[in-house]
A and B are shown apart, each in its own frame.
Chain A
């Protein structure tokens, strides 16, 4: 465990932990949605400080982890076509597709570039008029405005050699999929702070109401997470179910209007296959009719067979909160960050990788 003094506000951390111990009378299972939160909970040793009655399970909020095998195959196929430059966030490169990862495609000669921003990909398209530049647009609602903006920018400059492969996923439909699963064990959610910076709170009220479940929009620093957990447990103990905003310093109730408008301009809502979970209706963004010239799927007539997931990986159970990473028989043996079998072992925001790197009990194993 870390020393208290290492935290940004050690006194507050201490206070929240004491308060949590004081108010918790029943067993509660909470799910944090965002992979950044998972990473912070594990890395900062917060799981070890919570009362025994509180169990944290780790949700599907890591875009790297939920991008399906078939979409990785699409990206690999796009990268392998002559005269193509496939651009991606770095985390995606090691995610295994059905035959290979983008990193393996790159090693075999495909032009795959790691970029910090989709806007850089638009620049790249401008600099390389004789090449097709495709951005692998993954992410949750947080990333959607940037990816949408890249399309708006490209259209405005009449760049016809730019397109995106969209694999966007949305938080509220995933929450509903988890809650309506028969095996559901979740009593409360910590919603993802930066997702709500964009989207605001509105879409969470119906979910809280329908499933009678507390939802606390929470940041990712230790004090945020502890305060978010405290707010959720407080509601649970009082049998309340409200949407609360722990992260008001970065989240307004209405979100960011410009960002939401940009998303709406470029994307429409579509069904999406989540790796490990399966298809969730109306849970993703696809480039809409108006910007179809910028949709790589249509532009290059991608037609590759649907790929089955690796059956050895139990990431679906982990992302639904039914199992912990170390309950996977492959954890740390057949599946390690250097040789990932499944996506949650790839990104540092994936639950398996977070446990592998930081959890004291796995290190002791």
Chain B
């Protein structure tokens, strides 16, 4: 649970105000709703490091892809498929 996993922002889904933003992030095809609160400057198309549902940093695309494929090969992206996770209504 300590790793941050890189993914690509494919849409902004909710914007309550300037800071409370959520986005849809694709982790090699697995889609998750992610809070963009900590990365106010991130835009659609950016790659972000995501830890437990919150983007904590913007990262370089090339780097993000390499890291993701490493994590996947190591079986470290399982947590994205957490069993009880509630369905997002959006």
Contacts and interface: CB of A to CB of B under 8 A. Distances in A.
B38 A117 contact: no
Interface in A73-132: 89-91, 113-120, 123-124, 127
A323 to B, nearest CB: 23
Nearest to B83: A114
Contact of A115 (B37, B66, B84): B84
Q: How large is the interface on B (under 10, 10 to 19, 20 to 34, 35 or more residues)?
A: 35 or more
Contacts of A220: 3
Given A116-B82, A249-B63, A258 B38 contact: yes
A146 B51 contact: yes
Contact of A120 (B4, B53, B79): B53
A114 B82 contact: yes
B56 interface: yes
Interface string B58-81: 011001001100100010000110
Nearest to A44: B74
B86 A123 contact: yes
Contacts of B19: 258
Given A8-B66, A114-B82, A146 B4 contact: no
A123 B88 contact: yes
A119 B2 contact: no
Interface string A1-31: 0000000100000000000000000000000
Contacts of B60: 249
Contacts of A153: 20
Interface in A235-274: 249-250, 256, 258-259, 262
A188 interface: no
B85 A120 contact: yes
A119 B39 CA distance: 16
Contact of B74 (A43, A143, A194, A198): A43
Contacts of A34: 2
B51 A194 contact: yes
B11 interface: no
A95 B51 CA distance: 22
A250 B2 contact: no
Contacts of A64: 1
B80 A142 contact: no
B78 to A, nearest CB: 9
Nearest to B57: A197
A119 B53 contact: yes
Q: Identify the interface centre among B1, B60, B85: most chain A CB within 10 Å of its CB.
A: B1
A149 interface: yes
Contact of A145 (B2, B16, B54, B88): B54
A224 B49 CA distance: 17
B52 interface: yes
Contact of A194 (B2, B16, B86): B2
A164 to B, nearest CB: 13
A258 B39 contact: yes
A116 B85 contact: yes
B56 A198 contact: yes
A267 to B, nearest CB: 15
A221 interface: yes
Contacts of B80: 116
Interface of A: 8, 34-36, 40, 43, 61-64, 89-91, 113-120, 123-124, 127, 139-140, 142-143, 145-146, 149, 153, 156, 192, 194, 197-198, 220-221, 249-250, 256, 258-259, 262, 347, 349
Given A221-B67, A221-B70, A256-B57, 13 more contacts: A8-B66, A35-B2, A63-B2, A89-B1, A91-B1, A116-B32, A116-B53, A142-B56, A194-B49, A197-B49, A249-B63, A256-B39, A259-B38
27 contacts: A8-B70, A43-B74, A64-B1, A89-B52, A114-B85, A115-B86, A117-B85, A118-B52, A120-B86, A123-B86, A123-B88, A139-B1, A139-B2, A140-B2, A145-B38, A145-B54, A146-B35, A146-B52, A194-B2, A194-B49, A249-B59, A249-B60, A256-B39, A258-B39, A259-B38, A259-B56, A262-B38
